[in-house]
Amino acid sequence: MELKYGCNPNQKPSSVYVKNGELPIEVLNGKPGYINLLDAFNGWQLVRELKAATGLPAATSFKHVSPAGAAIGRPLTDTLRKIYFTGDGELSPLACAYARARGADRMSSYGDFIALSDECDESTAKLIQVEVSDGIIAPGYSQKALEILKSKRKGTYCIIKIDPAYVPAPIETKDVFGVTFEQGRNELKIDAEMMKNVVTENKNIPADKLEDLIISLITLKYTQSNSVCYVKDGQAIGIGAGQQSRIHCTRLAGQKADNWYLRQSPEVLGLEFVDNIRRPDRDNAIDVYISDDSDEVLAEGVWQNIFKVKPAPFTRDAKKAWLATNTAVALGSDAFFPFGDNIERAHRSGVEFIAEPGGSIRDDNVIETCNKYGIAMAFTGIRLFHH
């Protein structure tokens, strides 16, 4: 399949192919690009594994070869429906999964490439219809869903159907600087067996939190390393990807998790926006309002283009008090934590359950820090680097 160009417009020619047989995809609408397909194939693998591990429909929102969000189809609370802007219509389990995946980090999901584990139904397509997105990959589409999606982007929205029975070769290769790299595919199955070695004083990991840890590790399996993933109630709420330092992963993902929770605060839920405000403008305003730069959005005259009534400032103390009520968060790391500072930062975002490989020369410090806060931590013995 010929592509318009590679990662950048100057990188031509560009195409995708398999060495033997046919491509496992069918393009139903639009024309995918090089990065679109990288997102599509990584995203499809992620949701396929989430579905296999949990039995529930799964969705992910990909940007630049890492997930901005990933989730399974647990029902949404009224609060989540409000902060995800789903409206009042009935939501299928798959639609719930996509609302969670898209809604966790709306700033990063802007212009995403979507992957769904199941046939896209009308309920899910209606959610996608109003969002800014580049395309979607799924094993199938209902007729009504296909009609809705084809109407996006003036008829150019990229819609890909993948063969769910496709099995890639066990050896994968890629070229870098004219040199071919070869390795066995990462076919590691992530399940509860990996979480049996609980090394902390607190060894209680309830079944639903075990599932959250599984979700975090499957998400990390397809996230550019170094990476850390916070999960709560079946969805990633903060993903830190591609950082050179583990603590920076933990801080980045923790800030995203904090933002997700701050959006559920009474201060944010009470914001009254002007009529017909664009969805990205609303999302940007919320992001600034909950940040340390909230004075920008509350500046004299500026707020009148956004809010019907000028909101009171969201003070640092008020944010700190609200964040203190976030609990029972699960955290996965794609490699060991080298120091206890990562645990200190994770604790600030409500983390009570952790899965990481172990193997640092400072494991004793990491375990000691977990014990200080009563955190239950499992050593998986498995690294999940992805590049």
**Which of 256, 257, 259, 280 lies closest to 268, judged by CA?**
259
From CA 145, how far away is CA 25, in angstroms rounded?
A: 18
- What lies within 8 Å, CB to CB, of 203 at 6+ separation is 376
- Is 226 known to be catalytic? yes
Q: Do 184-262+323-379 and 2-12+22-162 fall under one CATH topology?
A: yes
Query: Among positive and negative, which fits the CA dihedral 142, 148, 152, 155?
Result: positive
Per-residue pLDDT at 297:
83
The verdict on whether 64 is a catalytic residue reads yes
Domain 2-12+22-162 class, CATH top level: alpha beta
Per-residue burial over 307-337, b = 16 or more CB atoms within 10 Å of its CB, e = otherwise = beeebeebeeeebeebbeebeebbbbbbbbb
pLDDT value for 40: 98
Q: Where are the domains of the chain?
A: 2-12+22-162, 184-262+323-379, 266-313
Contact 88, 274 (CB under 8 A): no
Residue 299, pLDDT score = 86
Q: What is the pLDDT of residue 368?
A: 97
Residues in the chain: 387
Catalytic residue among 64, 82, 150, 310: 64
Residue from 29, 36, 63, 326 carrying the catalytic annotation: 63
Q: Name the catalytic one among 226, 259, 326, 342.
A: 226
Per-residue pLDDT of the chain (387 residues; tens, 9 = 90+): 999 999 999 999 999 999 888 999 999 999 999 999 999 999 999 999 999 999 999 999 999 999 999 999 999 999 999 999 999 989 999 999 999 999 999 999 999 999 999 999 999 999 999 999 999 999 999 999 999 999 999 999 999 999 999 999 999 999 999 999 999 999 999 999 999 999 999 999 999 999 999 999 999 999 999 999 999 999 999 999 999 999 999 999 999 999 999 999 999 999 999 999 999 999 999 999 999 888 888 888 888 889 999 999 999 999 999 999 999 999 999 999 999 999 999 999 999 999 999 999 999 999 999 999 999 999 999 999 999
Query: Given this model, what pLDDT does residue 19 score?
Result: 87
Superfamily (CATH) of domain 184-262+323-379:
AICAR transformylase, duplication domain (3.40.140.20)
